[in-house]
Amino acid sequence: MKKSIIVSVLIMFAVVFGATAQEGKDKFMVQVDGLGCPFCAYGLEKKFKEFKGIKNVKIDIETGDFSFSYPAEKALTLGDVEKQVEKAGYTPVTAKVERANGTFEESSAAAMMQKTEGAVTKNVMVAGNCAMCEARITKAAASVNGVTDVSWDKDTKIMKVSFDAELTSLENVEKEVAVAGHDTKNHKAHTDDYGNLPACCKYERLSYKK
């Protein structure tokens, strides 16, 4: 009889302890663009290990879904999470968090690029390999003031970019993409910028006439 009572108490203690362990945790869910392979997922998880106390990390390469839990008392913000994704070399599309107190927060890191009347559209070759390269290239090009639309095809290696010619030029866009580590038709990325790319993004470099 005593044994059964002891077992019951232990079970109740385990249940209560387990529930308590889950309390005080914020659950973050992020949609990440650019996760093309297991190496990419490893790089993302490794970067987030810098957040001491992170638990329950889950990454779906196919969908780009990334989730984890974090101690509520550390008050981690969605902005901090998005910045960490970017530091890992990826693009946060959307981010949301379910706080330990039951409230929800949501943000969108995808900038809505407004179309400008009379925008110029140009095509230019940009070197790259994968979806991760695509996210990096388009993000770099889109960061240039005046750019209204941008896309890159990993098969043809062609970047299509629309911009306000009064605010910027194709040359400025190419320079920014080169800084991100990708050779363009007219601008070669610095050796260090190319070297900082993940292994899966190391494309065959372009040749330039001196």
Q: Are the beta carbons of 62 and 107 closer than 8 angstroms? A: no
Residue 157 lies in a domain: yes
End position of a domain, from candidates 81, 108, 135: 108
End position of a domain, from candidates 108, 138, 160: 108
Q: Are residues 154 and 197 in the same domain?
A: yes
pLDDT tens digit sequence for 82-98 = 999 988 878 788 899 99
Domain count, the chain: 2
The pair of structure tokens assigned to 91 is: 């693009």
Phi-psi region of 176 (alpha: psi -120 to 50; beta: other; left: phi over 0): alpha
pLDDT tens digit sequence for 134-176 = 999 999 999 999 999 999 999 889 999 999 988 999 999 999 9
Separation between Cα atoms, residue 69 and residue 71, nearest integer Å: 7
- CATH number of the domain where residue 155 is located: 3.30.70.100
Q: Are the beta carbons of 165 and 122 closer than 8 angstroms? A: no
Residue 41 lies in a domain: yes
Separation between Cα atoms, residue 67 and residue 77, nearest integer Å: 14
- Domain hosting 178: range is 120-201
Q: Are residues 75 and 124 in the same domain?
A: no
Q: Are residues 58 and 91 in the same domain?
A: yes
Residue 12 lies in a domain: no
> What percent of the chain stands above pLDDT 70?
81
